[in-house]
Amino acid sequence: MMVTGNGKVFGLIGDPIGHSLSTFMHNTVFDELNLDYVYVPFNVGKKDLCNAINGAKGLNIKGLNVTTPHKVEIMEFIDEIDPIAKMIGAVNTIKFVNGKSIAYNTDGIGAIRYLEEITSLKNKKVIILGVGGASRAVGFQLSILGINELLFVNRTVEKAKFLINDFENKLNNPSLLNSKYLFSGFNKDIIFNYGGFDILKEQIKDCDILINATSVGLYPNVNNSPIDENILHSDLIVYDLIYNPIETKLLEEAKKVGAKTVPGVKMLVYQGAESLKIWTGIDAPVDLMEKVVMSKL
């Protein structure tokens, strides 16, 4: 990689960022496309978020990704937030244009993009395990894409209830219903529900898509699964947002019953591709990005 004074700088801010694979993924794409761009990881603490954004403007950095734990707090220091990201309540991509910062959330659309390639989302019932930032992004994206029912399952039921209430309030907002940001396939009669893990056995019977957005099964606890394998069935698509290990215990068990499985690498790659498009207008080579990530894992 040759970095020149004419190049463009992109990067990642988070704390910590040493585990991130985004640097390899994006820089490989820049090399492949012969672009004079570079992607740099920056370890930024919470108290320095404002300085980081102002510094990026001063250094003429063109774009940043935002990772844990800053996806919510960073919004305070952004000049303009994409309406969908504002409704999700978190951002992971920032573009700098004429000294102004504009923030987006590509986590949701990145996760859903691959799902749309393998199935229609229309009229589907989806269960999401967990209610963290990834759950919020993926769940909101699904809610505006035509699914019929969305159920959040969480150990702390009150947190799932809060998230569902937030979704219902936002999706019933007249300004959203009449805006250009609402997808044409939006189902205004979507059913929202929530509960603890005790309801899973019954609710999963007619479920089409199961998404794990918890950390259960994440390396090094690779022998753990968030649910009992006996309730899985062959009509499911099981999507685990964890990408290390590549095949989690949940995905391994889902394969045994004949369910279709989607590894978390897909979300990592596709959200990265969406970020690149926002920054550069380029349709990124997702096959190459996935190959790089898989080689590092």
Number of domains in the chain: 2
- Provide the whole-model pTM: 0.88
pLDDT tens, 71-81? 989 999 999 99
Instruction: Answer yes or no: do 160 and 290 share one domain.
Output: no
pLDDT of residue 118 exceeding 60, the answer is: yes
* Options 8, 46, 47, 71, the catalytic residue: 71
Query: What CATH number does residue 277 fall under?
Result: 3.40.50.10860
Instruction: Answer yes or no: do 19 and 146 share one domain.
Output: no
Instruction: Answer yes or no: do 114 and 250 share one domain.
Output: yes
In DSSP terms, 10 is beta-bridged to: 39, 63
List the structure tokens of 19. Answer: 């585990």
Q: Is residue 272 part of a domain?
A: yes
Instruction: Answer yes or no: do 118 and 241 share one domain.
Output: yes
Q: How many CA atoms lie within 13 A of 270 on its CB side?
A: 20
Instruction: Answer yes or no: do 75 and 135 share one domain.
Output: no
Q: Is residue 152 part of a domain?
A: yes
Instruction: Answer yes or no: do 234 and 276 share one domain.
Output: no
d(CA 195, CA 205): 15
* Amino acid found at 191: I
List the structure tokens of 18. Answer: 């040493």
List the structure tokens of 33. Answer: 């496309």
List the structure tokens of 277. Answer: 């498009």
% residues pLDDT > 70 (the chain): 95
Instruction: Answer yes or no: do 158 and 170 share one domain.
Output: yes
> pLDDT band at residue 5, thresholds of 50, 70 and 90?
confident
* Residue 167 near residue 194 (C-beta atoms within 8 A): no
pLDDT tens, 249-263? 999 999 999 999 999
d(CA 46, CA 77): 12
Instruction: Answer yes or no: do 215 and 292 share one domain.
Output: no
In DSSP terms, 104 is beta-bridged to: 93
pLDDT tens, 152-206? 999 999 999 999 999 888 887 755 555 545 555 677 789 999 999 999 999 999 9
% residues pLDDT > 90 (the chain): 79
Q: Is residue 192 part of a domain?
A: yes
d(CA 47, CA 157): 32
How much is the pLDDT for 19?
A: 82
User: What does the pLDDT average to over 86-95?
Assistant: 92
* Amino acid found at 251: L
Residue with tokens 């320095």: 48
Q: Is residue 230 part of a domain?
A: yes
d(CA 16, CA 216): 20
Query: Active-site residue 201, yes or no?
Result: no
d(CA 125, CA 151): 8
List the structure tokens of 264. Answer: 């978390």
Q: Is residue 3 part of a domain?
A: no
Residue 80 backbone class (left: φ over 0; alpha: ψ -120 to 50; beta: rest): beta
Q: Is residue 1 part of a domain?
A: no
Query: What CATH number does residue 131 fall under?
Result: 3.40.50.720
Hey, how many other C-beta atoms are within 10 angstroms of the C-beta on 61? Answer: 19
Residue with tokens 């935002």: 66
Whole-angstrom CA distances from 94 to 47, 65, 279 are: 18, 6, 8
Instruction: Answer yes or no: do 78 and 120 share one domain.
Output: no
Strands 149-153 and 125-129: parallel
Instruction: Answer yes or no: do 78 and 93 share one domain.
Output: yes
In this structure, what is the dihedral angle of CA atoms 16, 21, 22, 26, given to the nearest 10 degrees? Answer: 150
Domain span at residue 80 reads: 8-105+267-296
d(CA 288, CA 266): 12
User: What does the pLDDT average to over 209-231?
Assistant: 95
Instruction: Answer yes or no: do 98 and 160 share one domain.
Output: no
